Structure 1
């Protein structure tokens, strides 16, 4: 795909993994720094953190300029065409990273995926279409992609309803508007997920804030606890 992911290795015996995807035009190292700033790896020393890097591709929305992106974006309104092949390709790449962790001895329910903006969209798609029920999903400032393909695309649906999902969004987001997040909330709830939480942050734009990152830390601690 692109250059290797930025990683934070577990500081004690690894028993869990978090794979987190950045947004448009960004790199994995940015989120590695953010997680370190909020001391999230210190709270879960048994967790390995993986921050992949998207390949450089042309983005229609940005006048065809090449930049790191998980898929093409044609527009920001609800009726904009979605890049289904691109979304599915990145979702497959994330699924391959999950399989690598499983081969390394980490069970699927101890692997959490997440991402910011388009990275979050890929993470949601990969988690819902995975043959495994994962340890959780962190969906920050994002949306449910290819929503018309669900719930049919849900794999092993019965177990999936217990998949923990934390969705976070700023009420001042002008890029991924908060109504997209609310539509995603409706879609995920309609699929019957029992451990789904939606948090909205006042005055937060298309970014993150202290309160959100503290919620992210708590979610990881809660769903990937230390095991012997």
Structure 2
């Protein structure tokens, strides 16, 4: 099976770290591409950014309209009933991208998984169940959709996790972000959690915080 199509941004010098960043519902791999220069990462930290494109799927909550989606969302409520088979398939596809980065010479412990909204839900599943230790997981305005079924691999039992959320998020309510924090803490993780006065979006202050966190976990 061929890997997901991706947008890739190479650093000026040969990459020794990678960030695989998943977009949200209805977007594509170009969505977070403009964020990269805004991170102002130092030249001493050559990071390859990989932005995969989700497949085109019919989405139930959008009247079956076909759009870029990591999985189908069946009900738009706090319980977020989703197609877990599709979500886990997407997670395996992301793990294939991790494998490819390792084949390209990047140590797994220098690979970060990041995801916004629906992409973040896939990011949780992909990172926590991966069989080699990763550098970190960045969860943006998202939720842990597979909390009842996820198999956390021992290799990532101490994975650094940072969660950011908007206090006025009208799509993924902030309580879902806090619910993810509780789930993780109950299982021994120590996730960072920070909010911003924004809706279902990304703001400049958050981008600055992401930059600091990436420099920390990839130091």
The answer, yes or no, to whether TM exceeds 0.5 is yes
Native 8 Å contact 1:76 1:176 kept in 2:
no
Alpha-carbon displacement from aligned partner over 1:6-43 (angstroms, at most 9, x marks no partner):
1111211211100000000101112011222x144556
Equivalent residue number for residue 16 of structure 1: 17
Q: Secondary structure at the match of 2:109?
A: helix
Equivalent residue number for residue 82 of structure 2: 82
Equivalent residue number for residue 139 of structure 2: 139
90 and 190 in structure 1: CA distance in 2 versus 1, 3 angstrom threshold: same
Q: Secondary structure at the match of 2:78?
A: coil
Alignment of 1:155-194 (within 5 A): 155-156=153-154, 159-194=155-190
Cα distance between partner residues in 1 of 2:80 and 2:158: 32
**TM, length-normalised to structure 1:** 0.90
Q: Secondary structure at the match of 2:21?
A: strand
Equivalent residue number for residue 129 of structure 1: 129
Native 8 Å contact 1:142 1:181 kept in 2:
yes
The alpha-carbon deviation at position 46 of structure 1 amounts to 1.1
Match of 2:213 among 193, 205, 219: 219
Structure number having the greater helix percentage: 1
Cα distance between partner residues in 1 of 2:184 and 2:43: 29
Q: Secondary structure at the match of 1:29?
A: coil
Q: Secondary structure at the match of 1:139?
A: strand
Cα distance between partner residues in 2 of 1:2 and 1:99: 10
107 and 177 in structure 1: CA distance in 2 versus 1, 3 angstrom threshold: same
Native 8 Å contact 2:130 2:156 kept in 1:
no
1:206 aligns with 2:207: no
Equivalent residue number for residue 53 of structure 2: 53
Alpha-carbon displacement from aligned partner over 1:62-103 (angstroms, at most 9, x marks no partner):
000000000001122133422111100100000000000011
The alpha-carbon deviation at position 45 of structure 1 amounts to 4.5
Cα distance between partner residues in 1 of 2:49 and 2:148: 31
Q: Secondary structure at the match of 1:217?
A: helix
- Greater shift after overlay, 69-78 or 111-120? 69-78
112 and 44 in structure 1: CA distance in 2 versus 1, 3 angstrom threshold: farther
**TM, length-normalised to structure 2:** 0.94
Q: Secondary structure at the match of 1:90?
A: helix
